[in-house]
A = this chain, B = another copy of it.
Amino acid sequence: MQNRNRSVRSLWAVLTACLAQTGFAGDATPAPATSQELYPKGSQQSFKGPEQFFTGDVQVQMLFPGNDTAHYSGAYVTFQPGARTAWHYHPAGQHMVITDGVGLTGTRDGTILTFKAGDAVWCPPDIDHWHGAGPDSAMTHLVITGSKDGENVVWKEKVSDEEYQAGRE
């Protein structure tokens, strides 16, 4: 598993530029300090979750970038039934606020939490986790993802069907 993690983790270096372009990685343009900044609907990047890091149909809609004061970005992420992230961790943690549907999120200790609209989940820094829809329901959550030294996610291997289904047994 160590070797596997290392090789999959090396994908991160290769794909950093791609993700930075899509606005998915790290902080972006600092906000001006003297007035409020409006990010109109549809003005931020929207993209399909890349095959390397997601299983199934996933759509990311950025809401706001990080800035010099607030070292976190916001995005809606929608998973169709059965879809989920790969294993990954966030160097500065992540909050997830479920806005629609029912989802699952798992950690290496075998715990799989079921969450639904109105629930929130905090994933502490450097904890491997995955998140996604339930097998029979789509899920949308608003994620608030911290950034540390310009890095907000480190990707690992995909979540197997066995790992995903373990929460249903």
The chain A residues found within 8 Å of chain B, CB to CB, are 31-42, 63-64, 67, 69-70, 72, 74, 92-93, 95, 97, 99, 105, 107, 109, 111, 113, 115-125, 127, 129, 142, 144, 146
- 21 A-B contacts (beta carbon < 8 Å): A31-B124, A35-B107, A36-B121, A37-B121, A37-B124, A39-B120, A40-B119, A41-B119, A42-B118, A64-B120, A64-B122, A69-B124, A69-B146, A70-B93, A70-B95, A70-B122, A70-B146, A72-B72, A74-B95, A74-B97, A74-B144
A36–B69 CB distance below 8 A: no
A69–B93 CB distance below 8 A: yes
> In angstroms, how far is the closest chain B Cβ from the Cβ of A151?
14
**Copy count, this protein chain:** 2
> In angstroms, how far is the closest chain B Cβ from the Cβ of A100?
11
B144–A144 CB distance below 8 A: yes
Using known A-B contacts A74-B120, A97-B74, determine if residue A34 contacts B144 with beta carbons closer than 8 Å: no
> In angstroms, how far is the closest chain B Cβ from the Cβ of A160?
20
Given contacts A37-B124, A38-B121, A69-B146, 10 further A-B contacts (CB under 8 A): A33-B124, A38-B119, A41-B116, A63-B97, A64-B95, A64-B122, A70-B92, A70-B95, A70-B144, A74-B144
